[in-house]
Amino acid sequence: MSRKPNLKDVAKVAGVSAITVSRALSDPDKVSEKLRAKVEMAVRQTGYIRNQAASALASSRSGVIGVIIPSLSNIVFNEVLAGIYEMAQPSKLQVLLGDCHYSPLEEEKLLATLLSQSPEGLILTGTDQTDHARRLLQNAEIPIVQIMELTDSPIDMNVGFSHFQAGFDMTRYLLAKGYRRVAFLGARMDPRTQQRLAGFSQAMADAGLEPLVQSTPQASSIKLGGQLLRSALSGNQGQLDAVFCCNDDLALGALFEARRMNINVPGQLAICGFNDLEASALVEPAITSVAVSRFEMGKTAVQMLLKPEQYRHQGGGIIDLGFNIVGRASA
């Protein structure tokens, strides 16, 4: 087997010194575009793999940020990641991405792996890290941004919105339209879904109404939305006039199931969701939902990593991006 190519091999192919190759790879903005292209071509020809850890030790910079999300299959996080990559690319940052599958223990393992790569910063989903994870993060001494929700006590910085307030406001929206027998349909019941449920329950209690809840720890899906609607209607003898679904997947499933059951939406049953996915505006009737600037959230998180001191002094490093209730024909 041939040996692994090294820096000298790249230098020989590029026709420059090894020091020049090292400079072009570690700080490309300080060399000419022509030289940079020559070195990049030599790297491709030789199949050279850069030792990122050694480079980080030499320059005190890794050029890497770590990102942990709870699901790669959830389209909601695709928009967040798009915003992260949009801002990271021009900043010459590489993104190391981890999926913790909504597991705090898996998040701990991912954190240990990412921190071993000497990242320049970390972006984490949520604010419910374990005590051990928080210790790892506090000892890392790098910028950290928690996203997707708000907290009064971030590990470092925080950008998101209040799920409690969004759940509360959506429920008040339904109540203002005259709906009284409102059920909350929830799946997986992760901390952010629980906050939406708490907002729903508070709004119902404030109105002197019973908060009806149909939930499951199962992963969310369109099919599950239909199943939850049937269960909610069965458990309440069909006496529901609205359902607030914890996300748009469930809302779509509830809408399709209502059609199969010959239930008029919104004449007999109003349906609303959360996240304002593209499909929600395209079905008939279009689904009322809560819209959040997820792309902007991803961009803002990277900006905070790049200028941590600036953001730490602005509102204590906490940014509330807010939300909008998008009223449509379903409710």
Structural domains in the chain plus CATH codes:
7-50 (1.10.260), 64-161+294-324 (3.40.50.2300), 163-291 (3.40.50.2300)
Scanning the structure block, which residue is given the tokens 């890392």?
140
Residues ≥6 apart with Cβ < 8 Å to 105? 130
Contact in structure between 308 and 143 (CB atoms under 8 Å): yes
The average pLDDT across 202-207 equals 98
pLDDT confidence tier of residue 22, bands split at 50, 70 and 90: confident
Q: Is the pLDDT of residue 194 over 80?
A: yes
Q: How much is the mean pLDDT over the chain?
A: 93
The average pLDDT across 90-118 equals 93
Tens of pLDDT, residues 159-185: 999 999 999 999 999 999 999 999 999
The average pLDDT across 257-271 equals 97
Instruction: State residue 57's pLDDT score.
Output: 45
Contact in structure between 212 and 185 (CB atoms under 8 Å): no
**In angstroms, what CA-CA distances link 282 with 252, 279, 286?**
11, 5, 6
pLDDT confidence tier of residue 54, bands split at 50, 70 and 90: low
pLDDT confidence tier of residue 259, bands split at 50, 70 and 90: very high
> What is the pTM for the complete model shown?
0.83
The average pLDDT across 107-130 equals 94
